[in-house]
Structure 1
């Protein structure tokens, strides 16, 4: 049995704006990461840095379907897939699924933490894209070493 984490939210913006908010590092740094070596594009590898961690995270095996889906690997055991669905009111339903880990105690903890993490990602993205609010700013400073 493979574990997975899931999160879903509806954002009151057209699918093109939401898509751009995910693939464009200038937008992503306003609500999720602190640095990126580039835009998410099929076949490319980028490096992400988060404000609360010293490590850098390679993001690879990127596959993009414009305004439909973004998938990538940042943990060799899992695949992250973000799907976008334009709704009749021109808002966008965003679903995140990360899966692939075997069921064991450590990975069960991972699944629970990542489900919360992806829900936070979506809430922060919604606040930024709809209202320009940077919810993540300072939210995880307590996790910094030192």
Structure 2
């Protein structure tokens, strides 16, 4: 049995704008990561840095379907799938699924943590794209000294 996390949110922006907000590092650094070595592109590998962690995270096995889906690996045991659905009112439904870890106590903690993490990602994406608000700015500074 494998574990998975799922999160979703509706963003009041066109699918093209939401897609660009996810693949473009200049936008992502406004709501999710602090650094990126480049744009998410099929077949490319990029490195992400988060403001609250010293580690850098390689993003591999990237597969992009423009304005529809973003797939990548940042944990060798899991695949992240972000899907975008254009809705009738020109807003976008964003779904995040991460799965692949075997069921055990440590991985159950991972699933709970990542569920919250992806919900945070979506809330920050929505706040940034709809209102220009950077919810993560200073939000996790307390974690730097751990």
Q: Is the TM value for this pair above 0.5? A: yes
Measured after TM superposition, the shift of residue 37 of structure 1 is 0.3
**Aligned partners of 1:139 and 1:122: how far apart in 2?**
15
Give the corresponding residue for 2:76: 76
Give the corresponding residue for 1:30: 30
Measured after TM superposition, the shift of residue 145 of structure 1 is 1.9
| RMSD between superposed Cα atoms in Å | 0.6
Give the corresponding residue for 1:95: 95
Give the corresponding residue for 2:43: 43
Give the corresponding residue for 2:132: 132
In structure 1, runs of 5+ residues without a counterpart are none
Give the corresponding residue for 1:63: 63
**What's the TM-score once normalised by structure 2's chain length?**
0.99
Deviation digits for residues 97-135 of structure 1, max 9, x if unmatched?
Answer: 000000000000000000000000000000000000000
- 1:54 correspondence with 2:83: no
SS at match of 2:60: strand
Matched pairs, number: 146
In structure 2, runs of 5+ residues without a counterpart are none
